[in-house]
Chain A
Amino acid sequence: MLESSTITKTGTRIDIRNVSKHYAGSTAVEDIDLTIEPGEFLTLLGPSGSGKTTTLNLIAGFTDLSAGHIEIDGERVDNIPSHRRGLGVVFQHYALFPHMSVEDNIAFPLKQRKVAKAEQKRRVAEVLETVGLGGYENRQPAELSGGQQQRVAFARAMVFEPRALLMDEPLGALDKNLREKLQLEIKRIHQDVGRTFVFVTHDQEEALVLSDRIAIFNNGRIEQVGASHELYERPRTLFVATFMGESTVLRGEPEWHGTEWTLGFHGAALRGTAEPFSGPAALVLRPEDIHLSSREDDIPAGHQYCPVTITQSIYLGSGRKFELALADGSTGIVRGPLARGAGLEAGDRAFASWRPERGSLLPDTGSRSTT
């Protein structure tokens, strides 16, 4: 049914339809609805316990779902056990079989599929070349470094040409340099093989580097799905805004006139347009969108502004980073080229300003407002 020869370069489509998973007394994921497009690199991103790994396990068939269903290439897989779903999985701590050599580990899926011995050998050698471990066939997993084990795990999940590759924090146990190197390799392999990749991580930078699209998880639900620039520039929830990158949040009760809103923030009158909603709101600003001026007269034309106090000024070589105290006591962050805000020091009073279209007004759900 899942013969590798039938897999086309365009990859596999995975539909997750209204899926929930309850454990005794608790909910792991609730009403997940997500389509993973053929050949795309989709990352499930979220803090620990947000349901991203559960979702991956549901796709892989390691866990039974409580409600909803999952389709792989249009076929419902509820009753297909994991070993017949034809998905490759890379585990967080690699899960290499410790009693088998590298070759036997990688040949394992081929053996299950009754591939001829000679063909097994050829494909193992080939995939080892791909991951840069040519000639390591006879090593034992225990003799390999973390990075090498990771490559073997990756080779093992790739060698049988799975319909899609699922990866659960595969780089989590490696140090930063190695992690960044392997990220680029994974991205290269994804481009080469053109298969569907589903990647789980809690590291938003990693998600930005790798993904075509990112699904952001929080409390067992998906908050938003989109390309990285969409999530960063047009977050739909306060959680997404604060989880993806740094932000400054101005809170208040807006007044609505159609899609236009006005917000009084400690003397500053802010305005803009958004899809109306009721209740308290949070205006989210990105650090590179904020200008700092020491005098009201220096604020660029067309900018909105509010008074702030500089609490830290940090020289970063390529630029400068400021930490601010807002009028309501919350903190803010500004990053920019060295020239911006030059001369401002900790303790100075200043004006933070921005172009109105750069701010996103979102319902204030009371999520954490820092970072």
Chain B
Amino acid sequence: MTALLESSVGPAAPAGPTPGTAAGRRGRGWTVFLLLLPAALLVVAMFSYPLLVAAWRSFAYPELGTQNYAWFFDGATNIGVLLRTVWVAFLTTVICLAFAYPYAYLMVISGRRLKTLLLVLVMVPFWTSLMIRTFAWIILLQDNGLVNEGLGLFGIGPLPLMRNTTGVLIGMVQVLLPFMVLPLYNAMAGVDMRLMQAATSLGARPSTAFLKVFVPLAMPGVLSGSLLVFIQALGFYITPALLGSPTEMLVSQYIYAQVNGQLQWGRGSVLGVVLLVTVLVLLAAAAALGRAGRRRQGATAKREAA
């Protein structure tokens, strides 16, 4: 057994280990391999393979060819759904950012106990079932729901708050808000507040110090939070399915309708591939942006050191 392994792997090692020591080292390599094996198998079988199946079906159903892609790019409806999805995800991100930025800033400047309280309030929905939270919005947003009753007291409404994009936005913002608050808080907590004091001592007004010093330094948190929210919003299914409408569909609902409703595996898979590619392109762009940012910082640090 050992001899077999040695002959198969031995010559590859550049240092040319002696036969005696190779067994020991290889033993250690095997532990790493065995430790990673179950997780890797699980991911390959339940993640990589299914995604490949979906990608394959986009070319192979109902027959081999690119007709499903042609269908997607020809139909104005399809492009419309994609654009609406991107737009809704964008709005969700912007609204989340607007809510989360002051909240995270307050977390940073408040004392230990208040900070913990604010953190717990963010974590509670994190741990609450998505299904339950969406269900709660149905109760609140329905035509005779609490929100419309309240508006009615002021003589407004009833407004159509669900079964449309408004409902989707409300639900998604609430569900995704924690994903914006936490990275923002992490980035802001890392900003050295003395820099703002330094700026004011140099004659900057507090608002200027905030805009010129704090905001740029907290920017990585804005970017990672926005990325996290945007990507999740692109692929959200449950909230649009329950709070949205079939006439203002998002890509995820469209996929479900094609695959589960009309058994159009090919078309559903194309939509899936388009969604996946959009997400991957975004991630790649964010990674490149992050690298560029780090390089710029590295260059500044080098220049300062010199």
State if A and B touch, Cβ cutoff 8 Å: yes
Give A residues with C-beta under 8 Å from B. 22, 24, 64-69, 76, 78-79, 81
Bound Cα distance from A81 to B23, whole angstroms: 11
* 3 tightest A-B CB contacts, nearest first: A78-B20, A64-B25, A22-B15
Does the CB pair A66–B20 fall under 8 Å?
no
Does the CB pair B24–A76 fall under 8 Å?
no
In chain B, positions 20-36 with a C-beta closer than 8 Å to chain A are 20-21, 23-25, 28
B129 interface contact, C-beta 8 A: no
Does the CB pair B15–A78 fall under 8 Å?
no
Bound Cα distance from A79 to B21, whole angstroms: 7
Instruction: Pull 10 A–B residue pairs with CB atoms less than 8 Å apart, ordered by A.
Output: A64-B17, A64-B24, A66-B17, A66-B18, A67-B18, A69-B18, A76-B20, A78-B21, A79-B20, A79-B24
| Neighbouring A residues of B14 by C-beta, 8 Å | 24
Give B residues with C-beta under 8 Å from A. 14-15, 17-18, 20-21, 23-25, 28
Q: SS class of chain A's interface: helix, strand, loop or mixed?
A: loop
Does the CB pair A64–B15 fall under 8 Å?
no
Bound Cα distance from A216 to B190, whole angstroms: 46
Bound Cα distance from A78 to B19, whole angstroms: 10
Does the CB pair B24–A78 fall under 8 Å?
yes
Bound Cα distance from A76 to B25, whole angstroms: 16
Bound Cα distance from A64 to B21, whole angstroms: 6
Does the CB pair A79–B17 fall under 8 Å?
no
Bound Cα distance from A370 to B20, whole angstroms: 43
Bound Cα distance from A193 to B15, whole angstroms: 41
Bound Cα distance from A52 to B24, whole angstroms: 22
Does the CB pair B15–A79 fall under 8 Å?
no
| Neighbouring B residues of A69 by C-beta, 8 Å | 18, 20
| Neighbouring A residues of B23 by C-beta, 8 Å | 79
| Neighbouring B residues of A65 by C-beta, 8 Å | 21
| Neighbouring B residues of A81 by C-beta, 8 Å | 24
Known pairs A64-B21, A67-B21, A76-B20. 20 more at Cβ < 8 A? A22-B15, A24-B14, A64-B17, A64-B24, A64-B28, A65-B21, A66-B15, A66-B17, A66-B18, A66-B21, A67-B17, A68-B18, A69-B18, A69-B20, A78-B20, A78-B21, A78-B24, A79-B20, A79-B23, A79-B24
| Neighbouring B residues of A79 by C-beta, 8 Å | 20, 23-24
Bound Cα distance from A207 to B41, whole angstroms: 53
Bound Cα distance from A81 to B17, whole angstroms: 17
Of all chain A residues, the one with the shortest Cβ separation from B24 is A64
